[in-house]
Structure 1
Amino acid sequence: MYQPLKIGELTAKLPIIQGGMGVGISLSSLAGAVAAKGGIGVISTAQIGFTEEDYDKNPLEANLRMIGEHIKRARKIAGSGILGVNIMVATKNYELYVKEAVKNGIDIIISGAGLPLELPSLVKGTKTKLIPIISSLKGARVLLKLWDRKENTAPDAVLIEGPKAGGHLGFTLDELENHEEQAYQKEIEEIVNLTKEYGDKYGKDIPVITAGGIQDKKDMESYFSLGVRGIQVATKFVTTEECDAHPRYKDAYIACKKEDIVIVKSPVGMPGRAIKNEFIERTFLGKIPIKRCHGCIKTCDPKDTPYCITDALVNAARGNLENALIFCGANAYLENRIRRVEEVLGDYFD
């Protein structure tokens, strides 16, 4: 059995968060649909303005403008449902993205791709709830300790993205290749206990949410038995009618086989999980020339990067798959048809 997911004074009828997928995969249509059905819908802010005419000239302005626009669009679909945004810590001008989301009344900010150490100070005095993404007990200890010491606060929930998740991963290649499920489950239990300590200190309930390869109700309940109280699901929502992705992107998931899903090295400096295609094969042959810098990632230097991560992901969102990086979760090959959001939720909840 499951219970509603409470994050501060917010209560999601279903204990599920739809994972934020960028560029352009989880925008207002998908996020609004999930929120309307009782889950937590999430908009990815990664290069969210790529559809705007001025994006190439003014990427930052286009991105900030479309954060507000997609939140408004999602609200119309979601009604009273709960909405969040996913903002990567590695994003250039990270603080501007956070403030723009807060200004537009977002309920939750989910933040990873680095530890969001400064996030509490950026939303201080607002109602926006904070969910940092961590991948290990070590990461949880560092984040909780620093938020406690420097910001005198604790998260509203903690999200553990496991080794079967899609997109950028907070693990080394060796950790991904030699993953031991039993050891991972023990680490989850330790993170649950750790968050309880900080929850007790601040007089708040801090639910732990897990993500990565959670395929059905059985998987979900196995994590609940460890003390987890919510799950995040992304890949399974890609092949829905409501997903913002291009039809060719969805078709790539439906067509892929298990052996097509590979770990790639991203210009962001983290390993990522994607569907093998012509573009990935070309990255093995040498540097792919970069036409312009979109100012997306703090750590990227156009002179040294093997290819432009923004161009590769925007191409994916536009359906130009021959020149695209197609991020996915470990179980993408199991998705074999287009469904509606309600049907995907039915895999977990009666």
Structure 2
Amino acid sequence: MGYRVAVVGATGAVGRELIRTLAEREFPVDEVVALASARSVGQEISFGDKTVLKVRNLETFDFAGFDIALFSPGASVSAVHAPRAAAAGCIVIDNTSQFRMEPGIPLVVPEVNANDLKKMRRNIVANPNCSTAQMVVALKPLHDLFTIKRVVVSTYQAVSGAGKEGMDELFAQSKGTFVNDPPTIEQFTKQIAFNVIPHIDRFMDDGSTKEEWKMAVETRKILDPDIKVFATCVRVPVFIGHSEAISIECEEPIDLAQARAALREADGVILRDEREDGGYVTPIECVGEDATYVSRLRIDPTVENGLAFWCVSDNLRKGAALNAVQIAEALVALDLLPKRHFL
């Protein structure tokens, strides 16, 4: 016997990845339903090798009797329907930005702060921003060893972070370049094909973008409220896989051998740092993988107790779908889900 699970936003890139990840990780389910807007009703989505789910209408769906709802429909939709699902007794794991910074709603990366799930008060758990998720997985073992004071990070974020439409725009612009078609710019502020754009989400009063602000506030909520974070977030012409160049300043002296050992043993991290041609991981190599990969580990001599490294991860998996399913698994492990289907 297992749980009843609803996937909201099932026709989107992350929603489809959620359904795929549930099947791949053999999450204990009795029933999975795929939910989306009225225009998607009737579409078919595969769940595992033998099951086909027909999309149902989120607007009219009754969450009563369901145990978990995995939400990835956009913040405005989550704002309406996540509280409705939670009120029906369903634990919501929300991938959008809607609830991340609200008091009483845990913001969770299971390798880092799974025990925060015990503080859940409203039947809602938030999944962090994709760029934050992979970073804190890599930072956690280093913070445990050396106590990180400050993080400076530059991100190189794939277009899939902007959804299927972003991927379609990169494909269309790339193809058009070779036949001299002028680029159509809709999803991004400038041409993305063969270009990089130092702008993700809206600008804030201090000149930062909201994506950069998210990385700072989310890292403090997940890992340590005393860590200072300065981020520069850049959209790059890569379909899947976020990359990050990270420099940290710590309270304790850095021992590089200890840092390597801690990263090698850390849950969710794979260290590949061979200091030779190709002895590092690039985003195309992480697609479809669950791990956060760390490479180019080296002392930063420009600050006291400084360390720098390169970090890549599949943003649709660890940055979204995988992390959400891992939260569901942690809820099971911590005995925080209802027992009604196991009586």
TM-score, normalized by length of structure 2?
A: 0.30
Whichever of the two has the greater Rg, that structure is 2
Q: Which protein is richer in strand relative to its size?
A: 2
TM-score, normalized by length of structure 1?
A: 0.30
